[in-house]
Structure 1
Amino acid sequence: MNRNLKLLLYASAIFILYFYYGILQERITRTQYGENKEKFIYSLALVFFQCIVNAFYAKMMLQFVLQQGEDTTKRSYYATSALTYLLAMVSSNMALQWVPYPTQVVGKSCKPIPVMIMGVIIGRKVYSLKKYLFIGLIVMGVVLFIYKDQQATTAAAAEVSGPGLGELLLLLSLIMDGLTGAVQERMISEHKTKSGYMMLNMNAWSIGYVAFALLVTGEIFAFWAFVQRFPFVLYNMLVFSVCSALGQFFIFLMVSDFGPLPCSITTTTRKFFTVLGSVLIFGNALTIRQWVGTAVVFAGLTLDAVYGKASLKTAKPVVK
């Protein structure tokens, strides 16, 4: 398949699957269950469920569909990348206890920056100045679009903001994102790690980490009691996890074939298009700032598509 067409296919699949994934996530976590209006607060259990479905899906793909040869990747790479990936998710979710959602989204929109920084420090990648400028434009546009005016959220922010703890958790999450990308760069450059093996092994390690956390925190028992009261939530979790598995498969395909930076750009701009789609579907008006953000994002994407390829081709890893 043509390389450009393949990149477009991967990006489109990630956009569509994670759009529905986001809808299901909100349905699961925002629904008020039963007469007592209980909320789903079992994030570790949800991640555990996801990892099991992801690992099973990857195993089936490797067994019956993919022909990816022998995997020579070090187990330490899988263990490290799985741990940093989980820490990034947990830190990001925990930050919402102390910062409002717009702040969390804005912080996570800067994900390509630590991926590039850690790629240079640990992955020994080299990027041109043009690449940095194009990525900066995309991030700037996303921030302009999705960041809400603080006047509208002052009261809510005052209630949830702590003494900088939320911001520190977001910083930790970004650092973990960067470390994950750097380790994946090393896996690809040193072992030519394929997408199926990457997905299977990272989720297998994640299952072990989350299972330990579920037992230590006791969340598994509270979750089981919740499911007994509201068994239909398992169906939503299953569909949610299938979307996650399919989406993650395309993410690992993109990481394996194009590297973690294009993947982080895709997942970051996916948030932008998800918000834009929500605006169009529900008829919400865009502010001038949001239209400017839209123009900046498309400018960054266009410039990167036209001029960024040379930057990626010249960004060759130096392995000792």
Structure 2
Amino acid sequence: MASSRRFKLLFYSLGIFVCYFHFGMLQEKITRGQYGDEKSSEKFTYMFTLVFFQCLINYLFAKTSLLTIMKQGEDTTPKTYYALSALTYLLAMVCSNMALQFVSYPTQVIGKAGKPIPVMILGVLLGNKVYPIRKYLFVFLIVIGVALFMYKDVNPLKKHSEGQTGFGELLLLLSLTMDGLTSAVQERMRSEHNPKSGHMMLNMNGWSVMFSGIVILVSGELVEFIQFLQRYPFTIWHITTFSIAGAFGQYFIFLTVAEFGPLPCSIITTTRKFFTVLGSILIFGNSLTSRQWLGTFIVFSGLFLDAMYGKDKSPRKDVTK
């Protein structure tokens, strides 16, 4: 039984890594690529619409799966749980993207690498979770290693051109808080109603489509996005394959959350960034600095220690009592 669960977790982890590696490459191609010629080049700026279509594909993927291969029965989880978790997820993304207007990219990456910390803290405060002290230390070790690896040295001459860093860090703090709230709500759902992965994926994305749809309609971004596609129709294929990769990746994420909880999922998705960057460096033949090698060692040390000694053997509290 234990070996079967370990194999499942490994399989879900590989699914997340492979899908989101492809997802990340397409995301950079879409959002950072130059469109048009040199004289009239433009960038893709329709982030809410991109999230809308991504969530829509995820919703259709989950709906189809529930009707065919994943018949998971009735879901008793209140809609308010799904609505709240979808809202906090969107707010986390908005705050994280807005922070880049005020802080450097390395600062944003380091801030978001600390996601397992609010997951555990808010999991304890709102989800009545209990973790051993050693697990806090192992997860913090992983976060430090990922941060060391992904951090880039800042040019001192550009320090004064990065804007109001205080407000940017506040946005990152809000983003991390929203991440923690999302995980806490998901943990409460697991404790009280034990929703299946298909139901979680369906309802989370359904509410996200509703919220993001309201934004792009009210702001007029949808009309501008359609005009953009008319100018560059090849982008339709990129967005479609990007959304499909994200749908399969999120499918594996919800399987992990539903069966193992949000903390292991948070660890997997955090280290997934590390392996994506590492794979990119190896593919393009770039060398690692000594600091990046140190980060590699710390991350793998933290993962090994957590796998060997970080398991919580105490019974989980029953929040329904």
1:156–1:231 CA distance, 2 compared to 1 (3 A): farther
Q: Choose from 128, 133, 141 the match for 1:137.
A: 141
Alignment of 1:163-182 (within 5 A): 163-182=165-184
Give, in angstroms, the shift of residue 163 of structure 1.
4.5
Separation in 2, partners of 1:237, 1:101: 24
Q: Do 1:195 and 1:249's aligned partners in 2 also have CA atoms closer than 8 Å?
A: yes
Amino-acid identity (%): 61
Alignment of 1:227-238 (within 5 A): 227-238=229-240
What TM-score do you get using the length of structure 2 for normalisation? 0.96
Q: Choose from 304, 307, 310 the match for 2:309.
A: 307
Q: Choose from 120, 126, 132 the match for 1:122.
A: 126
Separation in 2, partners of 1:3, 1:13: 15
Separation in 2, partners of 1:262, 1:98: 31
Q: CA offsets per residue over residues 4-43 of structure 1, 9 Å max, x none?
A: 0000000011011101101000100111111211100000
Q: What is residue 318 of structure 1 aligned with on the other side?
A: 318
Q: Do 1:79 and 1:205's aligned partners in 2 also have CA atoms closer than 8 Å?
A: yes
1:56 aligns with 2:70: no
Q: Which residue identity does 1:273 align to in structure 2? A: F
Q: Do 2:103 and 2:165's aligned partners in 1 also have CA atoms closer than 8 Å?
A: no
Q: Which residue identity does 1:61 align to in structure 2? A: S
Give, in angstroms, the shift of residue 299 of structure 1.
0.4
Deviation larger for 216-225 or 190-199: 216-225
Separation in 2, partners of 1:92, 1:117: 20
Alignment of 1:203-222 (within 5 A): 203-222=205-224
Q: CA offsets per residue over residues 70-112 of structure 1, 9 Å max, x none?
A: 1000111000000001111111111111111111111110000
Q: Do 1:100 and 1:157's aligned partners in 2 also have CA atoms closer than 8 Å?
A: no
Q: Do 1:125 and 1:318's aligned partners in 2 also have CA atoms closer than 8 Å?
A: no
Q: What is residue 239 of structure 1 aligned with on the other side?
A: 241
Q: Choose from 161, 164, 181 the match for 1:162.
A: 164
Q: What is residue 70 of structure 1 aligned with on the other side?
A: 74
Give, in angstroms, the shift of residue 155 of structure 1.
4.2
Separation in 1, partners of 2:167, 2:280: 30
Q: Do 1:100 and 1:161's aligned partners in 2 also have CA atoms closer than 8 Å?
A: no
Give, in angstroms, the shift of residue 68 of structure 1.
1.4
- 5+ residue gaps in structure 2? none
SS in 2 for 1:79: helix
Separation in 1, partners of 2:131, 2:163: 36
Separation in 2, partners of 1:24, 1:157: 30
Separation in 1, partners of 2:303, 2:159: 32
Q: What is residue 288 of structure 1 aligned with on the other side?
A: 290
Q: CA offsets per residue over residues 97-153 of structure 1, 9 Å max, x none?
A: 111111111111000000000100000100000110110110011111111122xx3
1:156–1:314 CA distance, 2 compared to 1 (3 A): farther
Q: Which residue identity does 1:316 align to in structure 2? A: R
Q: CA offsets per residue over residues 181-217 of structure 1, 9 Å max, x none?
A: 0000000000011100000001000111001111222
Q: What is residue 298 of structure 1 aligned with on the other side?
A: 300
Deviation larger for 218-227 or 46-55: 218-227
SS in 1 for 2:310: helix
Q: What is residue 270 of structure 2 aligned with on the other side?
A: 268
Give, in angstroms, the shift of residue 174 of structure 1.
0.2
Deviation larger for 278-287 or 40-49: 278-287
Q: Choose from 41, 50, 53 the match for 1:46.
A: 50
Q: What is residue 153 of structure 2 aligned with on the other side?
A: 149
Q: Which residue identity does 2:83 align to in structure 1? A: A
Separation in 1, partners of 2:218, 2:161: 30
Separation in 2, partners of 1:117, 1:257: 20
Deviation larger for 110-119 or 63-72: 63-72
**Aligned Cα root-mean-square deviation (Å):** 1.2
Q: Which residue identity does 2:75 align to in structure 1? A: D
What TM-score do you get using the length of structure 1 for normalisation? 0.96
Q: Do 1:126 and 1:316's aligned partners in 2 also have CA atoms closer than 8 Å?
A: yes
The number of residue pairs the alignment matches comes to 316
Q: CA offsets per residue over residues 193-244 of structure 1, 9 Å max, x none?
A: 1100000001000111001111222111111111111111111000000000
Q: Choose from 103, 111, 131 the match for 2:115.
A: 111
